[in-house]
Structure 1
Amino acid sequence: MTAESIPRIVRMLPARFSRDAKATRTGENTAAVLLLLFTIAALVWANSPWADSYWTLLDTHVGFAFAEHRFELTVKHLINDGLMAFFFFIVGLEVKHEFAIGELTERARAAVPVVAAIAGLAVPAAIFLLFNPSGENAQAWGVVISTDTAFLIGALAVIKPKFPARLRIFLLTLAVVDDVGALLVIALFYSERISVAPLVVSLVLVAAIAAVRFLPVARGPAYAALGFALWVALFMAGIHPTLAGVAVALLIPVFSPQRSQVEEVVQRIRAFRQSPNSRYAREVTRGLRDSISINERLQMAVGPYVSFLVLPLFALVNAGVVLDAASVTAALRSPLTWGIVAGLVIGKFVGITTATWLMARSRIGELAPGMSLRRVAGGAALSGIGFTISLFIVDIAIDDPTRKEQAIIGVLIASVVAFALGWAIFKLTDRLSPPDPVGLKLVRPVDPDRDHIKGDPDAPLTLVEYGDFECPFCSRATGAIDEVREHFGAELRYVWRHMPLERAHPHAFDAARASEAAALQGRFWEMAHELFGHQDDLEWSDIYRYAVAAGCDIERFDRDVRVHASKVLHHVQDDAQDSEVMDLNSTPTFFVNGVRHKGPWDAASLIRALERGRD
């Protein structure tokens, strides 16, 4: 990394989606493969001639002694109660991020996956209780409530349905709420008898953790020490200690990078470039670190260890089950097994799909542009892959070894069936209603309530442009578009959509966000005019001046850009995802009456293309 490249990186910090998405998906897929391999290894080991060594390993005690005090756990409980606290820690960080500055901050957009997730928790539990209405089996209803996110995303990568980008975001949003529900169920229904004194100590430790953010230094070590103390206190209180990870995560602050912090880092980088020395290097490092919230830093630092170490080890010690004729026959005759299969496969599919349909139909919430119910149905089927949390609850909800084996077999059967059902739905719907060739037709119809339109929204002719505000060709195209609009008058509606090419135009994404913030005040076209007129000066300090010139209330503009940024961000993201789906790679790109325009985009060429469309 060169000194010249750092300012550009800093400018991109507010755009969380600008991370290398391809690398992220590769890591998620690798984690899912690793989880599957360790699951198979556990099954093979538990059914091999060396099966005794597997069970011996799980029951091996590890710990330490201090004077007359002794603390020890079996290997299985060390992983399930100890290492899994890091898994729940990551879950808590993701939940906090999404509700604070992520997908769940925009109520209308978040309403559908939130309600769908709640239905995906309740319906499976109800179906399980139909099979097991009373007795010891009924206590295991929590096994069917949660989806395994790693396997879900891995399954999407294997099946490769058409245009999965928005479905993936929908399912990840749904998974966050799913995780919240699972955590609440574990805390409320699967904790042992509560001891008051350790519980009081736990509450004091929670208050101390909340105060760590005010420490001037050593916040990381403080979180670690107090988190471990909270784990011990919860263990002694009879509450499942892994919830310590959630408590710490929810108390760690999260924020979007502030413009003042980012600009301060840029100044430090410039000073370092002019006079490289250790002092400036430390200041740059500290400034870059502090500009990103500790929530995101910990997700990046701890997340890989959870994905590539903790979860595979969890699968290894929990997925091992004897699959001989007697155990399989007993499982296939058990209402516990079939309650789990029906709850995960049928419950998740019916609950999520039905809730999404009702929310979309009633217009209480809205699906992301381009999402359809058939996409959701395929994802809902895959949500029946309940592995990590399901096996976790099996271990704490069921004591009898025979019933525990039946439950594990049920989870494995459900995961296989859910994958097959999701694969069938995606393949069938893609075959019955195949999408148009990539990039030939507009993937998302014009929406007058959402899109930026010049002209009559109901005009018979439509010209859609994908462009960015730093592109000189887009700026020149505005004159041609004015001629086209003058030629057709009320017969034409012109639509602008964002396609910020950040590699070529490093300020394009910020300019797009700024235009959307102006649009919230009804000043989109005025702001677009200012941005096109000052393409060589698109730093944020300049953009604020253009917002004033465009007639924006600058205080509201600042809030919409920095604090209430989710709606602004989502609009730009949606347009950018359209361009990715259609494999667009240059700006401007035009669509004439929904069909991609090939060839010159001067006024005469566009007029001829629109005339042909009218005929």
Structure 2
Amino acid sequence: MNNVVKKIISPFEEFLHTEAASGVILLFCTIVAMILANSPAHETYFGILNTKLGFQIGTYVVHKELLLWINDGLMAIFFFVIGLEIKRELAFGELSNPRKAALPIAAALGGMVVPALIYVAFNHDGDAVAGWGIPMATDIAFAVGILAIVGPRIPFALKIFLLALAIVDDLGAVLVIAIFYTDTIAAPALGIAVGLLGLTYLLNKIGVRKVSVYVVIGMLVWFAVLKSGVHATIAGVILGLMTPVFPWFSRSAAKEQITKLLEEVEQHGMDQRDVFPTSAHDSLAKLGYVVKESAPPLDRLVDILHPWVSFFIMPVFALANAGVRLEGASLNAVFESPIALGVALGLLLGKPIGIVLFSKLAVLAKLAEFPAGVGYTKLIGTGFVAGIGFTMALFISGLAIKSPDLEVYSKLGILMGSVVAGTIGFVILKIATRDR
């Protein structure tokens, strides 16, 4: 029984450890981006981000600034990993059990609805109203990083709750991007994307296991979605959700095949160098294939991509997007900006109010119950920690706020709201766990 529990919990612990370390790097990159944007080197910084790169496939041409390649290209991999994590949670995690899933789902809904309403209260007309989706999401890396700083006294159940909440948040943000931040649809390109996704599903069903095939198709899907008018990152989420959660070989089949192949290898003996002879290489290759295909494709991809996303893609995104030029944006102007106030207060107040209120309603309705060791004080602290929007908030800000001048205030609102919410959440959780 202990081994089974360990197998279930270990992936979550590893995930949380990676996210905590990533949060530290993200913070460093954010500070560097702000320094570069407001230093004598700011022209070079923004000039690099505006450098145009592109390619052409037939009549389709893609020619974008480096900033857009990061936001549309690299972030598609980030969203692919989000798709993988959502599917794993739905299949085996906290969201696979309706009773256990009820609380983080209710909390996430509250953490999306209330911040959006607060934002709209400040921005109920004009182009700025489109930014209502900005304060909805939670940055998993920063949030988990705060829990790691609080220390080992944080109940593991609370970490899992925050992780499940953040994943539901991400799913909500993905739906918002797909439904509300898509301007026009190019039917032919979208049809090609759907056809390629159908081909992906078919190849998986007939047993095609070569990763390179899916990489090529995935890139074509990304390109087709990009040209369709739907944001290209949605392709990453869909492909992630289509990734199989079960291995090609079941445990019993793998054990049978491995035993058989080991016997074959033993029959070949050893040469004078005490290594397997050439005649055994075929059996060894088959053995390696069985071992590899005994692990679920989803888990293998998460193991490969998650460190790259955490320690390369997200830091690069932060370097490219967190650099806000403060010239002309006085402190008074920030506090007088409806966009900055709507975003900052949506994260700072909307998140904890929405998470606590909807969680309380779910418990009162007997749809959910608090995990062991998690009371209202820790829930409030977690609500504030969930107010660290950052990565997804910056991403949605780039889609929602079309004016560069107005987007400055949106980014400043994200930074202010996230910093204050994270600090308050840290203090509350530190106090709540000091006697544990």
Scaled by the length of structure 2, what TM-score is found? 0.91
1:363 to 1:266, Cα distance in 2 relative to 1, 3 A: farther
Residue of structure 1 aligned with 2:361, choices 347, 358, 362: 358
Q: Which has the higher contact order (CA 8 A, sep 6+)?
A: 2
Relative distance call for 1:127 and 1:357 in structure 2 (3 A) is same
**What is the alpha-carbon distance in structure 2 between the residues aligned to residue 301 and residue 35 of structure 1?**
20
User: What is the total number of aligned residue pairs between the two structures?
Assistant: 423
| Corresponding residue of 1:321 | 324
* 1:63 paired to 2:54: yes
Aligned partner of 1:186 in structure 2 is 177
Distance 1:416 1:201, change over 3 A: same
1:227-376 mapped onto 2 (5 Å cutoff): 227-255=218-246, 258-264=250-256, 266-268=258-260, 270-271=262-263, 274=266, 277-324=280-327, 326-376=329-379
CA distance in 2, matches of 1:371, 1:68: 57
- Following superposition, the deviation at residue 243 of structure 1 comes to 0.7
User: Structure 1 386/65 Cα, relative in aligned 2: closer, same or farther at 3 Å?
Assistant: same
Match of residue 226, structure 1, among 217, 232, 251: 217
Opposite residue 210 of structure 1, the aligned amino acid is Y
CA RMSD of aligned residues (A): 2.3
Distance change (3 Å), C-alpha of 1:338 and 1:270: same
Distance (Å, rounded) in 1 between the aligned partners of 2:44 and 2:365: 57
Give the number of the structure whose alpha-carbon radius of gyration is greater.
1
Question: Structure 1 or 2: larger helix share?
Answer: 2
Output the amino acid matched with 1:173.
Answer: A
SS at match of 1:253: coil
> Aligned equivalents of 2:382 and 2:17: distance in 1?
19
Distance 1:68 1:112 in 2: 49
Deviation at residue 34 of structure 1 after TM alignment: 1.2
Aligned-partner Cα distance in 1 for 2:45–2:342: 28
AA aligned to 2:25 is L
Gaps of at least 5 residues in structure 1 are 1-10, 436-615
Counterpart of 2:431 (choices 428, 433, 437) is 428
Match of 1:411 in 2: 414
CA distance in 1 between partners of 2:20 and 2:128 (Å):
34
Identity %: 36
CA distance 1:265–1:422, change in 2 (3 Å): farther
Q: d(CA) in 2 for partners of 1:345 and 1:290?
A: 45
From 31, 39, 45, give the equivalent of 1:40. 31
Deviations 1:334-354 (A, max 9, x none): 011010011111111011111
* Structure 2, unaligned runs of 5 or more: 268-275
Query: Does the 8 Å CA contact 1:47/1:322 hold for their aligned counterparts?
Result: yes
1:162 aligns with 153
Aligned ranges 1:359-508 → 2 under 5 Å: 359-430=362-433, 434-435=435-436
Q: Displacement of 1:280 after TM fit?
A: 3.2
How far the C-alpha of 1:310 sits from its partner, in A, is 0.8
Task: Judge which range, 171-180 or 402-411, deviates more.
Answer: 171-180
- Tell me the CA shift for residue 266 of structure 1: 5.0
Residue 155 of structure 2 contacts residue 373 of structure 2 at CA under 8 Å; is this kept in 1? no
Q: 1:64, CA displacement in angstroms?
A: 3.0
Letter in 1 for 2:397: V
When residues 161 and 138 of structure 1 are mapped into structure 2, their CA distance, relative to the original with a 3 A threshold, is: farther
* Separation (CA, whole Å) in 2 of partners of 1:126 and 1:67: 45
Deviation at 1:281, TM superposition (A): 2.4
Is the contact made by 2:258 and 2:290 (CA closer than 8 Å) also made in structure 1?
Answer: no
* TM-score normalised per structure 1: 0.65
Classify the secondary structure of the residue corresponding to 1:389: helix
Q: How far does residue 328 in structure 1 lie from its aligned partner after superposition?
A: 3.6
Which amino acid letter does the alignment assign opposite residue 271 of structure 1? E
Q: Would the alpha carbon gap of residues 248 and 66 (structure 1) be closer, same or farther in structure 2, given more than 3 Å must change?
A: closer
Letter in 2 for 1:263: K
**1:26-49 CA deviation, whole Å, 9 max, x = no partner?**
422221111111111110000111
Q: Structure 2: how far apart are the matches of 1:199 and 1:65?
A: 18
1:12 CA drift (Å) = 6.2
- Judge which range, 134-143 or 319-328, deviates more: 319-328
- What corresponds to 2:125 in structure 1? 134
1:207 lines up with 2:198 in the alignment = yes
SS in 2 for 1:370: coil
Q: What's the offset of the Cα at 1:67?
A: 8.4
Is the Cα–Cα contact under 8 Å of residues 161 and 427 in structure 1 kept in the other structure? no
Letter in 2 for 1:62: L
Instruction: Describe the SS at the equivalent of 1:19.
Output: helix
CA gap 1:284/1:38 in 2 versus in 1, 3 angstroms: same
